[in-house]
């Protein structure tokens, strides 16, 4: 069984993203933005409509793609496509799997292209436009052993309260969000190096994707950011470490 995987080097952010159809206030480049409310919307739902990525070089390797948020119906489809030339000759095409919250796919083999596309089609659209939030395309780091599965996942409430001089309470209500904990015991020096690279790249402010179980990528992939600074505690008499990663769902 594959272990937990972290995806943070995003090729989708490294190239030029365009769409043949887009509403003026909802351009294709919004899919490079971490805010899910800053999405792309097509100007039509007629036929198949593509989001296109040109990496501007011979090609970069990828073996995973994901979409965080879309408005497809239950029969709508999203294909990840790789081209051998400028969006003419298809060499690879496969369905992303999932729902409106997350669609994800691990490729059977690593693919290397300069030109990529995500193609949307829906015979029963729910709106007069297609909508896509954050997109990821790239690779991953996989831990040599899995997290313990005993982390205290919980829902956080960012709402605030203030009291007046008279003791009356005023509240600002905000939406709850999930917090996920990944405790590790006995990770290798390579695991530690990989997690340090993740932290150096993303810190506590930048987005990434985590897949808790790659066999169920469409239901166990989450869009998150770190909220702690991982500490690596040596295990006595070994070259291994214990650590904890805590991440909050981005929304």
User: For 31-76, what is each residue's pLDDT tens digit?
Assistant: 999 998 899 999 999 999 999 999 998 778 999 999 999 999 999 9
Instruction: Assign 138 a pLDDT band (cuts: 50, 70, 90).
Output: very high
How far is residue 55's CA from residue 82's CA, in Å, rounded to a whole number?
A: 12
- At residue 195, the pLDDT reads 98
Rg (CA), the chain: 20
Question: Is residue 101 one of the residues assigned to a domain?
Answer: yes
- At residue 151, the pLDDT reads 67
- At residue 153, the pLDDT reads 86
What is the total count of domains within the chain? Answer: 2
- Write the CA distances from 46 to 21, 23, 39, 141, 201, integer angstroms: 10, 14, 19, 38, 39
Q: Is the pLDDT at 141 greater than 90, yes or no?
A: yes
The domain of 27 spans 5-142
- At residue 161, the pLDDT reads 86
CB neighbours of 238 closer than 8 A, spacing ≥ 6? 186
Instruction: Give me the phi and psi of 42, to 5 degrees please.
Output: -75, 160
> Same domain, yes or no, for 65 and 113?
yes
Q: Which of the listed residues 115, 142, 169 is the one where a domain comes to its end?
A: 142
Helices (H), 94-246: 189-202, 217-220
Instruction: Give me the phi and psi of 41, to 5 degrees please.
Output: -130, 135
> Same domain, yes or no, for 163 and 206?
yes
> Same domain, yes or no, for 118 and 165?
no
More confident residue, 32 or 163: 32
Question: Is residue 149 one of the residues assigned to a domain?
Answer: no
Instruction: Assign 189 a pLDDT band (cuts: 50, 70, 90).
Output: very high
CB 133 within 8 A of CB 125: no
Q: Which of the listed residues 80, 108, 142 is the one where a domain comes to its end?
A: 142
> Same domain, yes or no, for 134 and 159?
no
CB 80 within 8 A of CB 9: no
> Same domain, yes or no, for 15 and 137?
yes
Q: Which tokens is 170 given?
A: 């005023």
Question: Is residue 189 one of the residues assigned to a domain?
Answer: yes
> Same domain, yes or no, for 56 and 90?
yes
Residue 13: closest CA among 38, 35, 30: 30
* Percent residues over pLDDT 70 in the chain: 99
Question: Is residue 147 one of the residues assigned to a domain?
Answer: no
Residue 118: closest CA among 90, 78, 87, 65: 78
Question: Is residue 41 one of the residues assigned to a domain?
Answer: yes
> Same domain, yes or no, for 21 and 76?
yes
How far is residue 10's CA from residue 123's CA, in Å, rounded to a whole number?
A: 30
Question: Is residue 243 one of the residues assigned to a domain?
Answer: yes
Question: Is residue 43 one of the residues assigned to a domain?
Answer: yes
Q: Which of the listed residues 98, 121, 142 is the one where a domain comes to its end?
A: 142
> Same domain, yes or no, for 224 and 124?
no
How far is residue 165's CA from residue 129's CA, in Å, rounded to a whole number?
A: 50
Mean pLDDT of the chain: 94
Centroid of chain to Cα 242 = 26
Q: Is the pLDDT at 200 greater than 90, yes or no?
A: yes
* Percent residues over pLDDT 90 in the chain: 84
- At residue 31, the pLDDT reads 98
- Please compute the mean of the pLDDT values over residues 170-188 and round it to a whole number: 90
Q: Is the pLDDT at 158 greater than 90, yes or no?
A: no
Instruction: Assign 178 a pLDDT band (cuts: 50, 70, 90).
Output: confident
Q: Is the pLDDT at 130 greater than 90, yes or no?
A: yes
Give the CATH number, domain containing residue 13: 2.60.120.260
Q: Is the pLDDT at 190 greater than 80, yes or no?
A: yes
- At residue 173, the pLDDT reads 86
> Same domain, yes or no, for 43 and 126?
yes
> Same domain, yes or no, for 137 and 231?
no
Question: Is residue 98 one of the residues assigned to a domain?
Answer: yes
> Same domain, yes or no, for 90 and 211?
no
> Same domain, yes or no, for 169 and 202?
yes
């Amino acid at each position: 069984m594959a272990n937990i995987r972290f995806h943070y080097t995003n090729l989708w952010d490294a190239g030029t993203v365009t769409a043949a159809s887009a509403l003026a206030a909802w351009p294709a480049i919004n899919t490079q933005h971490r805010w899910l409310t800053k999405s792309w919307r097509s100007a039509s739902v007629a036929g198949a409509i593509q989001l296109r990525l040109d990496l501007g070089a011979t090609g970069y390797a990828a073996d995973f793609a994901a979409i965080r948020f879309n408005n497809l119906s239950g029969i709508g489809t999203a294909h990840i496509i790789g081209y051998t030339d400028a969006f003419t000759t298809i060499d690879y095409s496969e369905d992303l799997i999932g729902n409106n919250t997350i669609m994800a796919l691990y490729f059977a083999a690593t693919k290397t292209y300069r030109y990529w596309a995500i193609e949307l089609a829906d015979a029963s659209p729910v709106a007069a436009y297609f909508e896509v939030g954050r997109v990821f395309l790239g690779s991953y780091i996989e831990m040599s052993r899995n997290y313990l599965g005993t982390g205290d996942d919980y829902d956080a409430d960012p709402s605030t309260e203030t009291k007046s001089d008279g003791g009356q309470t005023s509240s600002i209500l905000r939406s709850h969000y999930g917090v996920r904990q990944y405790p590790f015991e006995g990770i290798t020096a390579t695991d530690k190096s990989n997690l340090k690279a993740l932290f150096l790249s993303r810190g506590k402010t930048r987005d990434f994707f985590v897949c808790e179980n790659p066999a169920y990528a469409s239901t166990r992939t989450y869009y998150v950011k770190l909220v702690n600074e991982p500490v690596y505690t040596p295990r006595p008499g070994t070259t291994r470490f214990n650590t904890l990663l805590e991440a909050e769902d981005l929304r």
